[in-house]
Structure 1
Amino acid sequence: MLRRQKDTDAARRKKTGRPIFRTIFNAMMLVMLVEVVLLAVSIAITNVDGRLNQNAKDMLNMQVRNRVSYVQDLMQDAQNLTDLSEHINNTVLAMQEEGQLNLAELNTSREKSDALLTAIAPELVNTLRAKPVSGIFVVLNTVNLHNLDVGCGLSGIYLRDLDPDARPSEDNADLMIERGSSAVVKKLGITTDKSWQPTLRYYGLKGNGFSKTPFQTAWEDGARLNAEDYGRWTTSAYKIGNDSRTAIAYSQPLILPDGTIYGVVGVELLTSYLQTKLPYSELQDGNTGTYFLVSTTADEEDTSFIVSKAVTSSEDMITSEAPAGMMNCELRADECWLTLRNKDYYAVALPITLYSRNAPFSNERWLLIGTVNSKVLFAFADNVRNVIAIAIVFTLVLGALGSLVIARNLAYPVELLYHEVVDGQEKKQFPQLSHTNIRELDRLADALTSLNSELLNNSTKFLRIMDMASVELGGYELRFDTGSVYVTDNFFALLGAPQPKDHFLSVRRFEEKLSNIQLSHPCTTTAEGDKILTIRREGETRYIMLRVTNDQTTQVGLAEDVTATTLERMRIEHERDYDILTGLYNRQAFHRVSEELFHDPHQLGVAALLMMDLDNLKHINDTYGHDWGDQYIHRTGRCLAENTPNGTVVSRLSGDEFVLLFYGYSSQDQIREKIRTLSSAMKKSVAILPSGNELRISISGGVAWYPANGTDMDTLKKYADFALYQVKRTNKGHLEEFSMEIYQQEAQAAQLRRDFQQLLTEERVCYVFQPIFSARARKVMAYEALMRSDMEALRSPATIMKLAQEQGALYEIERLTFFKSLETFAHPRSMQIIAEGVETAAELRKVIELGADALQGYFLAKPAAVPAKMAPAARKVIAEYSSASDSG
């Protein structure tokens, strides 16, 4: 029976919910907001602007990387002056030998220096034509620069080609002499520049001169290195005299084989020429990028360093922001940045390798820096971000307006039906619902009208079905709009609670009572959301499933006694996962749990797989019976369960085989301590056998480590099983760790055993014969058959015999030797070898008898094989055997 219990106070309160218009509008707005949020999150996750910025950086990096290779090749080609230096040295030595030159007079005799310069000038012109340089020079000096007066003139020659890439003129009309004496100019016939001077002025060691630093470094170092090792590029641009053109230069000292230093030779690259090789327009559209060819003495690890500008790709605003040719570079998150005029410039700085590692100037690192203003470089990403933001704002505005219109149109028909139902409720009669021209709503109205008349009949039928059901059921219904509560008579009794004494329950009181019942009994939740209460009363345990469904104004609950099905499910799950004898995980459960753990390496941490095998189980079964053997296994299982930390996966795989998985540790030493504790506990576990003897658990085990030995279960099981096998074979009753060295040795031994089996199967042996010579008789008395194998690992007969003894195959070797040696012995070549040692008829007769049919047949078939010195006797013996064989 259903009992209706009403709370009059609650019935008077009017309960209101959210209007359908607001519900639809809020839902649509929520969907739109979720879509916008998902769009924003997806953009954030994909990092569109970051990737666009990175693409811009990568393109800049690629351009600079391509350009730095070109510039490095150009400068390395320019500084390769070995051939020119050797030509000048050879010229000097030849002139010295002919008496035309004395190096000591180079600084004092203009005539001597002009003669040398005139001799080497053609080769300078050829080198200038052959290399991608705009100038070449030689400066002569044989004294320490500290001893020279500032402003004094040094003899030398300085040639320049303003357009190295143009086709050279046959009469050198495109060349100019910047420095050189009148005699040299007259001899060469090359035009002098407007700033021409006959000598090169020495202005002291201070500053960044293009020739003095390499010369003085080699002088002070005693010319211990090769001339090219002292070579150096000027770290900043320079001018020659009053010439307005700037350049950088590479120079190296001129050193004779005896270590005499008599000047420098070098090449020049005009700044204007280098700028043509640094097309800044390739860095960024709109010509907003700049190349800097710089040098620095800072270490590669420095996060902030000063560089010296040598050449820039253009004289733009950026160049003017680095006074005195110096710039400060800063590394931020492994990226190079320049800050000029309070603006950030993203830069790609790549090294140019010009000096060997042990050269005196190797600390002067050269870099090619390509830089672009960050706002210009990242402008596209900024524009994309702004467009996305504007699109999101427009989406929100249009979505809100659209949601408002749609919600209004959808809510009106439902509100119409709602008001008609409310009016009918107030009039205590079911209304005639209007048609809304919406198919679903009209069908719902018709269905409500027909269902209303059938409701009472169906309720009565349902109650009768519940009374006749074989499973005890109970239920309730709460109506929040009216505050009424319907409860079956047996509902509280099913939940193990006393029946309420009063006959009236409010919704609030019923919910409190049901909540107290759930809190006072163990409760679990199924995957479907149903709750199963464990009711223990008077030594009996029952399981009650409580299903609850809700709608806006009603909550319906059903209580069902599921004791039988729950107990059966628990029994099946226990038998599926646990070993009956020990209560530990069985093989299937162990593999399932282990597989779940190995899917989460972070949860495994440092782990160890311990495979264990009971010792003496067969002896106990044979001596005391299988019942005692089962007790032995049971005691072992209990000892493992009670002496391992919580969370350790402990399992009995089969008869006497156990496996443990320790996991979640930070070091192997922590696990070793747990294993030692377990081993000690097993040794202390004692049982008294029927004979009165004490039975202690003796177990052998092998340990494999995760991740040190392997990262998957199959590998760890293989290694742990190998370690267990080693223990069982050498030191039973102990736990040992896996050793890769021993495993590899065993693998080699196993391969050797497999090769031995192949040798037996395929008979991969042959035999050679060694004569046994009698010193007394002074002749060969017999032949010894020696075994040989063509298998690389079994070359030695001693190895073969050792393996045969280990594997019980001595008989196979004996059989193989007997038949194989006789087969070889019977071979015609072997017969010939033996026959060559026979000298008399008696020996021949004995050999034929020893060789049986094969040897006899050989001599009978090939009489010519008999040595000439015994031919008469041999014919007689052969005739005897021939007649004997015929009569036989």
Structure 2
Amino acid sequence: MKQRHVHSLFQRLLLTLIILVLLISSIFFISLLNSSALQDLKASSFNLFDQRVMYRSDAIQKNLNERCLDTDDVAMIISATHPLYEHRKTLTSPYLNEDILNRLHSLTKTKKINGIYLILDKEVFHSKEYPAFYLQDASPEESFNDKTDITAKYGDAALLKQNDFILDQNWKPSLTMKEDEDTFDFYFKPKKAAEENPQLNMLNCGYWSTSSHMADSPTPLLSYNIPLFNQDHQVYGVLGIDLSVEYLKNYLPYEELNDHSKKAFLLANRESDDAYHIILSNGPAYSAYLKYDTSIVLTDAPYGKRISAPALSDDTLACAHQLKLYSSFSPFQDTLWYLIGVGSEDEIFYSTKQIHQLLLYACITALIIATLVALYGSMLFTKPIRALATRLRQTPVTTNKIELPKTHIKEIDELSASIEDLSYHLHGAETRLSYVLHTIDIPIGAIEIYNERKVFCTEKVGTLLGFRDPSKMEYTFKAFMEEIQLFNKKIISSEKQINTEHRTSDIYLIHVTNSAEQTCWLRFLINRVEGNRVIVVSDVTLEIQEKEHLMYERDHDVLTQLLNRRAFRVHCEAILKQADLKTCAMVLWDLDNLKLVNDTYGHDAGDHLICALADVLQKERGPNCIAARMAGDEFLLFYHHFENEEAILKHIRHIHEVVNETEMHFGNDDITRVKVSAGISWMPKDAMDFDTLIKHADFAMYEVKNTQKGNIRTFSEEHYLHNNLIFDGRQELMNILEEQRVSYAFQPIVDAKTGAVLGFEALMRPNSDILKTPSDVMQVAKTQKQLHRVEYMTWTQSLSHFSQQVAIDKQWKLFINSIPSIPMLDEIKQYLEEHYHEYLSKIVIELLESEEIEHSYMLSKQDFCRRWHAQTALDDFGSGYSSDHRLFNAQADYVKIDMEFITNIARDKGRQMLVKSVVSFAHSHDIKVIAEGVETHEDLVYLIQHDIDYLQGYYIAKPAYAIKDIEESKQQEIRAIYKEI
């Protein structure tokens, strides 16, 4: 059994408290994780970020809408440009141009924009280039009384100077543009939209774009462009405003997204593809990566969108809000503008992670504090218990009563009191036990070894082990081992015994010489109890002697003191396992005149005769020979390791002579010589195993007994093969008769005219591997004079099987094979009349035609038949003694023609003549004829055609253990054949 680990109370208590703390913490964390609080907190963090972006998108959309040109602004410009268009006077009219210029200047102040421009179509105004005015305000939020904050990029220089506008260093009088260049989409796209959508007004054709070409700006500009057309919808120019990206950044403060400046605003547009094209990026953490005209892709994420862009990590999230810059009627409504907030997951969920860390630190701190508290509490709780345990360990073993200190803890003090009481009672019990053992003088003692330091012995240990001071009871471990070394010198032998009751203990049996120089046996039972070794020593000399005596009686015959058959087998089989046995022999001896002595002088004299033979065998057997009494008057000698057979035969003949010369005196000085016979089997010539050697020696003895007693005969394989059935079947027959080990199969006998069943013949089936057929049983029974028992078994068992399957009202008969040489015994008649009298009228006794029938025996069976209205049949007619004479004298009701004369009768003239004569003779004496062995259809037809009364054979039905009618098809076949006659 596996020993469990030992834990202190302190460890158990500390472990329990720690498990409790861990359990509570686990419940807290599991509850927190299973709840949606942490997920809600994370969602709230992102929603806050999203709301800030949405708020800023509303603000920037409002700002852009305020700076867009509305209907009044457009009307004001139209009213100034329309006369110019009507007269096709491009820029030659100072009055008209000055009016346009002043109105453009007025719009820069009211809209607070970075620039405003008017571009006239060169085709309409018949110019090589596009006439244009472009005024730029570097600080639209600041207001000046003069025009010093305005610079002119395009327009008539004289007119501009006349109106106090400062010319830009890159000033140009007109603009050169090409329609196939994307940089001029700000002009051509709104112009084209107006031309293709005549139903739309100018504002609906407005177009937002990015460009830096007109302003020659290093940074992109956000522009809003409106086409100008007359009442006939002919476009003659485009009016537009500029908002610099740097100026717009003032309205996209990334600081409001968080406090760490690690987020950014993006202004982007998207057309038909999935990519977002960045217009501006405001935020130092992303400005270097998300520049103007950079394309990004947004994909769905658990929270918001995830940005896919070069040089950005995968943990960058975004939320995008669309800016409604176009109406639903605008041709550019598919071009969507977005304000996008960008930040890393760590930044967006910074507060959530802080709360996670705070919870983790709080839990770890709580666990540490709880562990320290549990440690301190456990130490405080177990301190008095440790002190109590220390006091117990320090208490001497021989102390009569243990006194323990008080801990002032109720339960522990109660335990201490119980220990004190227990120690007192144990000491008393030990004293009483020692007194009892001393009084009754039981040779037993105990040794306890404490942690390899001290040894305590009971009072008898010193005497049992022969210590120098037998009265000494306490030793140091070193002194005890010195005594044990002296004891070891007295050991004669030792063995370890198998312990089936106490598997944790070791048991040793030691044969020693005691102090009186006498041998004795000591048993040591060694066990471990909580680290200490406990040894129980007992003197088992009487037990060993008694055991040896019982073993001797078990292995030896009580009368002759030779080995019995069981012990003889053990010794022989041990020798047969050895290699190179050379020549061996098994000899079976048998007294020839034991029965005569028993009958003449009594069984005591027979016992003296048996002992005399045993004495001779024991005395004369010599080396390499084992003698045993087999049973009764049979003895066995096994010779082994001899050089040849002659040496063994010489020894056997010598013993035979000595036995035959031995004289016994019985009664009135009657002298009787001992006479024996012997059978020998050799190894390896005759057999290689114990059982076969004895069997063959027994067969040799059997031959001696059945030929000439008093001789010696060796086993003959030829004789054994010829007579082995009788030899082997002797005991088997007895077993069959005792155990009724037979079954009966039943073969139907049918009417040759109707196919109806007349009855069934009971056929014996022995249940034996030796006597396999009825003839084997009969052969052995005849030699063993057991035919009368076979006859009894045949009658009782066949009727038993028949009565169990056939109802009394059924008219079927039972054909029983009776032995003609056995009379109808009274015990058979009495048994049948008591148990089966209702079935006796159905019996047909079959007399074996192969046996010579005793006339008186036949008369006894005929009388039995007449008494019970039964019938007789002569079986196997034609195969035995003087068949015609037997048929005439038997006065049988049926005659069964042997199958030897039925088989192939349809083609054999000789068989036909014989059967015809039997049928004619039988019918003339009113005897019915039964044909046995019908196995073909041709034979069946012939027999029916030639007046056979009944049929039996495999063609009609095979013998079976179940009694039943034959198949209907066979009955129809028989009737059909008979009908054709």
Provide the TM-score with structure 2 as the length reference. 0.38
Which of the two has greater helix per residue? 1
Q: Taking CA–CA contacts closer than 8 Å with sequence separation of 6 or more, which of the two structures ends up with the larger relative contact order?
A: 1
Q: In terms of Rg, which structure is larger?
A: 2
Provide the TM-score with structure 1 as the length reference. 0.42
